[in-house]
Structure 1
Amino acid sequence: MRAAVFTGHGDPLEIREVDEPTADPTGVVVETQACGICRSDWHAWQGDPAWEGRGFEDGHVFGHEPAGVVVEVGDEVEEVREGDHVTVPFNLGDGTCPACRDGHSNLCDERIPFGLTPESPGAFAERFHVPWADYNVVPLPSGISPVEMAGLGCRFMTSFHALAHRADLTGGDWVAVQGCGGVGLSAVHIADALGANVVAVDLFAEKLDTASELGAVETVDAEAVDDVPAAVRAVTGGGADVSVDALGISETCRNSVESLRKRGQHLQIGLTSSEDAGEISLPTDRMVAKELQFVGSFGMPRPRYDEIFRMIAHGKLDPAAVVSETVSLDAVPERLAAMTDFGTSGIPVVEF
């Protein structure tokens, strides 16, 4: 089968023929219909801190925002059937550890990062394998297209978990979103759907325009103002109740914290690149004096997908609105490389 494969950190992916996956006893094989191209793939390709030491070798397949059809089922699988239209979370849980049993599969003790670890090839390929399928496979409701589901992948559901489950967010609150890439635009759309007033911050006018289309009531052009936090505090009347760092660099993280009003919450979604190497200094005295909260959020637990599906069914969420383009498998190397200079907007999706 054809796949876009890793050749070395920072070296272009190559389109090659690779071995077909086969289902282990608890797993299934899924024929890929669509897969989002995510900045987490870019981080892993670059060898950034969260992925250091994972030992990616020539031929590894990234891609962790898939939708597809089950074509092979392992002998011990009871719930999943051939022909099912499905997706999977990018954090694959075993379903038995304390975190999984407590509803937090994104924090599974035996977590396998789908597509982002050597033992789990991803979905920039015509087919892929899913272990522990009865626990991890998510059936798609009728009416959700593969491209829409790929748009709901890691970035969208990560933003949903952060805002719906990790933040103390109520209707009418101000939410600032720092960085309007795929995660940030998803956060804008979701925060709006949850009843918040959203101010979007970015350097690029095109991304701010998209943020406005997705529900932002105010925007801040970070290149046009001298002090981003001051600009956010001005348009929100004293600061945001919740602020999201959707990028993961020192500037956006600090800007997010400094954009908050007293007792506000900072949500960290973006992961750092090599420049920050997993460590960002913060204004801790300010955080103490204003009783600010710093909250991390990672993926979304498998049991919470139905919440998103219900909001989609009733027209409150539209993951497809964040999809910026669909491309062929052959275009994956170029679209991934474009993320180096933030040359993508929204969520690009490879469609098979």
Structure 2
Amino acid sequence: MKALRYHRFGGPVAVETVPDPRVPRDGAVVRVAASGLCRSDWHAWSGHDDTVSVPQIPGHEFVGRVEAVGANVRNWSVGDRVTAPFVNGCGSCEWCRDGNAQVCPDQTQPGFTHWGSHAELVAVRAADTNLVAVPPTVSDAAAASLGCRFATAYRAVSARGRVRAGEWVAVFGAGGVGLSAIMIAVALGARPIAIDRSTEALALAAKAGAEHVLGVSDSTVSEIVELTGGGAHVAVDAVGAAPVIDMGIRSLRRRGRHVQIGLLAGPPPAIPLDRVLAWELDVLGSHGMAASDYPELLDLVERTVLRPDDLVTRAVGMDEAAQLVFAEDAARGSGITVLCPQGDHDGPGT
């Protein structure tokens, strides 16, 4: 198969011909129709994750059709149109049995623990636990954003942040996951504020429904406190940087909730625990979403309550993706870029 591959951390990415993935006995091989270019892969490529070995094929959010299934798979057949969360649970541990595969201690992740979806084919372990059926009305581009960014944002905002109608939600970072969080907050009746350094990203945030958009400055926190009449109810860090975490926590009102979804690089950041303690703030981690929680999200997409297509700003082929996948975010532009390995750059995957 054709795939994007790098041979050393931080090294060049090229289109190569590599062996097709083997079919796991409990898993499936999926022919990829679209695969999202996500900043999480940058962390793997940079060597920030000790589960990653090289050579590696990046990519962890995708949609496609089942090409083959293992002997122990019961619920899926060749030709089924599917996606999967970026965290694949083992299917047998106590967390998977409780519907929390996103924290499975034996999890696998395409593009991290094994070759990923920036390829014509990708393997998914524990298919009966991790594959998700995609309705024909949901486009390839939309489905490819669900595995990581949209699903991560959905669980972070609705389940971990417990956002309610009328609440203020400060979203730090208006990339793919931040824009998804804004759109989801709007769908829940909340009042999102977008904070980003990029004017282009802020323009997209406004289109996604942000009630206010703010640049980053020394006065950002005080502006949020003033706009919200005392601070946001929920802050979402969709960047993953120590200064952003500090801003997020300090932008909250008393008894507010900070939700961390941006992956961190480097040493653990200092957290203003004096504020957390005195104001009874919640600091919450959110790590993707289990496949068992997808039906509710897909229902909202089918009913166009949520429109992930609106966040997809670019679709590219293999050669162009090789130049973009680990370029600076600004070089890729704002919004979500998807790779189409088969060369079909648009349309529902019916």
Whether the 8 Å contact between 2:52 and 2:112 is mirrored in structure 1 is no
Aligned residues: 341
Whether the 8 Å contact between 2:85 and 2:146 is mirrored in structure 1 is no
Whether the 8 Å contact between 1:42 and 1:339 is mirrored in structure 2 is no
User: Equivalents in 2 of 1:342, 1:165: separation in Å?
Assistant: 33
Equivalence for 1:17 = 17
Whether the 8 Å contact between 2:62 and 2:147 is mirrored in structure 1 is yes
Q: What amino acid maps onto 1:202 in structure 2?
A: D
Aligned CA-pair RMSD: 1.3
Within-5 A mapping of 1:303-314: 303-314=292-303
Within-5 A mapping of 1:147-296: 147-222=141-216, 225-273=217-265, 277-296=266-285
SS of aligned partner of 1:263? strand
Equivalence for 1:134 = 128
User: Equivalents in 2 of 1:25, 1:256: separation in Å?
Assistant: 44
Q: Which runs of 5+ in 1 are unaligned?
A: none
Q: What amino acid maps onto 1:3 in structure 2?
A: A
Equivalence for 1:83 = 79
Within-5 A mapping of 1:89-108: 89-108=85-104
Equivalence for 1:322 = 311
Change (3 A) 1:27 1:168: closer
SS of aligned partner of 1:184? helix
SS of aligned partner of 1:199? strand
User: Equivalents in 2 of 1:57, 1:178: separation in Å?
Assistant: 32
Q: What amino acid maps onto 2:151 in structure 1?
A: M
Whether the 8 Å contact between 1:26 and 1:74 is mirrored in structure 2 is yes
Q: What amino acid maps onto 2:285 in structure 1?
A: G
How far did residue 340 of structure 1 move?
A: 5.7
Equivalence for 1:348 = 337
Equivalence for 2:344 = none
How far did residue 142 of structure 1 move?
A: 2.1
User: Equivalents in 2 of 1:237, 1:252: separation in Å?
Assistant: 21
How far did residue 155 of structure 1 move?
A: 0.9
Whether the 8 Å contact between 2:161 and 2:257 is mirrored in structure 1 is yes
Q: What amino acid maps onto 2:88 in structure 1?
A: L
Whether the 8 Å contact between 1:175 and 1:197 is mirrored in structure 2 is yes
User: Equivalents in 2 of 1:86, 1:6: separation in Å?
Assistant: 26
Whether the 8 Å contact between 1:338 and 1:344 is mirrored in structure 2 is no
Pick aligned residue for 1:332 from 321, 336, 339: 321
Q: Which runs of 5+ in 2 are unaligned?
A: 342-350
Pick aligned residue for 1:57 from 54, 60, 66: 54
What is the percent sequence identity of the aligned residues? 39
Whether the 8 Å contact between 1:335 and 1:344 is mirrored in structure 2 is no
How far did residue 339 of structure 1 move?
A: 3.1
How far did residue 134 of structure 1 move?
A: 1.5
How far did residue 54 of structure 1 move?
A: 2.7
Q: What amino acid maps onto 2:315 in structure 1?
A: T
Q: What amino acid maps onto 1:344 in structure 2?
A: G
Q: Is the deviation greater in 97-106 or in 136-145?
A: 136-145
Structure 1 stretches of 4+ moved >4 Å: 340-343
Whether the 8 Å contact between 1:2 and 1:15 is mirrored in structure 2 is yes
SS of aligned partner of 2:327? helix
Q: What amino acid maps onto 1:200 in structure 2?
A: A
How far did residue 227 of structure 1 move?
A: 1.6
TM-score by length of structure 1 reads 0.94
User: Equivalents in 2 of 1:230, 1:63: separation in Å?
Assistant: 38
TM-score by length of structure 2 reads 0.94
Equivalence for 1:123 = 117
Cα shift readout 1:308-328 (whole Å, capped 9, x = no counterpart):
111112221011111121111
SS of aligned partner of 1:337? coil
